[in-house]
Structure 1
Amino acid sequence: MNLDFWLQRLAGRATCLLGPGTRLHSCARIRNARGESRYIKVGSHCRVLGELLTFAHGGQIEIGDWCYIGEGTRIWSARHVRIGSRTLIAHQVNVFDSLTHPLSARRRHEHFRHIIEHGHPEDIDLDEQPVTIDEDAWIGAAAIILRGVHIGRGAIIAAGSVVTRSVPAWTMVAGNPAKPIRSLSPDA
Structure 2
Amino acid sequence: MLVADNSARISKFADIDESTRGTKIRVGANSVIDSFVRIKCAGGTDDVVIGEHCFINSGTVIYSGNGVRMGDHVLIAANCTLAPVNHACRDRNQLIVEQRFSPSKGGIVIEDDVWIGAGSVVLDGAILRRGAVVGACALVRGELESYGIYAGNPLKKIGERT
Same fold per superposition (TM over 0.5): yes
What whole-Å deviation, never above 9, does each CA across 1:107-139 have from its counterpart, x for those lacking one? 42336xxxxxxxxxxxx5333221100000000
Moved over 4 A (4+): none
Structure (1/2) with the larger strand percentage: 2
Aligned match of 2:102: 126
**Distance verdict in 2 for CA 1:56–1:160, change over 3 Å:** closer
Choose from 149, 159, 165 the match for 2:126.
149
Structure (1/2) with the larger helix percentage: 1
What whole-Å deviation, never above 9, does each CA across 1:134-165 have from its counterpart, x for those lacking one? 00000000001111010010110001111122
Query: RMSD in angstroms over aligned alpha carbons?
Result: 1.8
Q: Distance in 2 between matches of 1:174 and 1:137?
A: 14
Matching of residues 3-18 of structure 1 within 5 Å: 15-18=1-4
Aligned match of 2:142: 165
How many residues matched? 157
The gaps in structure 1 that reach 5 residues or longer are 1-14, 112-123
Choose from 62, 65, 74 the match for 1:78.
65
With structure 2 as the length reference, what TM-score do the two structures score? Answer: 0.88
The gaps in structure 2 that reach 5 residues or longer are none
Choose from 74, 94, 98 the match for 1:87.
74
Work out the percentage of aligned pairs sharing the same amino acid: 26
SS in 1 for 2:131: coil
- One-letter amino acid of the structure 1 residue matched with residue 27 of structure 2: V
Bigger drift between 57-66 and 81-90 goes to 57-66
